[in-house]
Amino acid sequence: MAPRSIASLNISFGLVSIPVKLYSATEASRALSFNLLHKGCGSRLKQQYLCQKEDVPVSREEMVKGYEFSKDQYVMFTPEELKALEEAGTHSADISEFVPIESIDPVYFDKPYYLAPDKGGAKPYALFARALRETNRCALGRWATRGKQYIVMIRPVEDGLVMQQLLYAGEVRSFKDIEIPKTEVKDTELKLAQQLIEQQASESFDPGAYTDEVRARVEAEIQKKVEGQEITLAEAPEEGKGKVIDLMEALRASLQKKGPARVTEARTEAAGPKASTRKPPRRAVPSQGAEPARGVKKNVKK
């Protein structure tokens, strides 16, 4: 079934305005969800809010929202007050700058949308997509919807455009807060690691090569339930205790699974130049009729 547009907006930069249709690029409906049921009769459960002080149920008409500014201390807001604080929705993504695509860390990526040209927008849409593609840049701007304001990045993909919501700086933790100990990496270890990467390298990402095995397993068990079959639970394997491994041996073992010839070559490089030129000791071959070495008995025919 063809996807349905969820909104229409204009991409505006300078005096140019491009009418586009917005399509969700992901399917949240694909996620499996379970409902809470009463174990005794199997009927659905209804959520109920209780007042912690009076221990009585509270209806939605009696609820207001509050912000906890200190421990157990709140300031209350009415729906009208919160509505007045919301950002007015716009039908426009206003572009403020163009930056190199690689300058934006994917950690800032949030929800993506596909953009398609709306009525009368085919020509400027195609022009904008090609200009971004050939300059290797993306457009950054702001878009307001549903009371919130978002940073958006518009980038070219295939023959069209994708609008990606971005997280604000305050929503992304700094990597500097993570403690990474300084560790020395040996050249021989680095060579083996690089060789392993090259053996498993691909030219592009194929999302179809990866499937959600957990989802498939859950769906199969759901179908069994629907058909009246009993689900058998397999015992989970015991988790092994963590152990220290030899990095070089682990890399060599990984390479052996892919190609032993390269491992031999890497092993020779890791051993050093002396190991590659060393020859095995020559073993003397006794000539016919020669006396055996000491300690070796000569077979005598009787």
Q: Parallel, antiparallel, or unpaired: how do β-strands 65-70 and 109-117 relate? A: unpaired
The span from the CA of 282 to the CA of 127, in Å, is 76
Examine residue 140 and state whether it is found in any structural domain, yes or no: yes
* pTM of the shown model: 0.66
Examine residue 132 and state whether it is found in any structural domain, yes or no: yes
Please list the residues that pair with 76 across neighbouring strands. Answer: 66
Phi and psi angles of residue 278, each rounded to the nearest 5 degrees, phi first? -70, 135
Examine residue 155 and state whether it is found in any structural domain, yes or no: yes
Examine residue 145 and state whether it is found in any structural domain, yes or no: yes
Q: Is 289 helix (H, G, I), strand (E, B) or coil?
A: coil
pLDDT score of 95:
93
- Domain assignment of residue 130, given as a range: 15-27+90-171
Pick from 186, 180, 195: nearest CA to 247:
186
Examine residue 274 and state whether it is found in any structural domain, yes or no: no
Examine residue 97 and state whether it is found in any structural domain, yes or no: yes
Examine residue 95 and state whether it is found in any structural domain, yes or no: yes
CATH number of the structural domain spanning residue 113: 2.40.290.10
Low-confidence ranges of the chain (pLDDT < 70): 1, 28-30, 87-89, 230-245, 258-302
pLDDT, tens digit (0-9, with 9 covering 90-100), for 114-148: 999 999 899 999 999 999 999 999 999 999 887 78
How many distinct structural domains can be found in the chain? 1
Examine residue 102 and state whether it is found in any structural domain, yes or no: yes
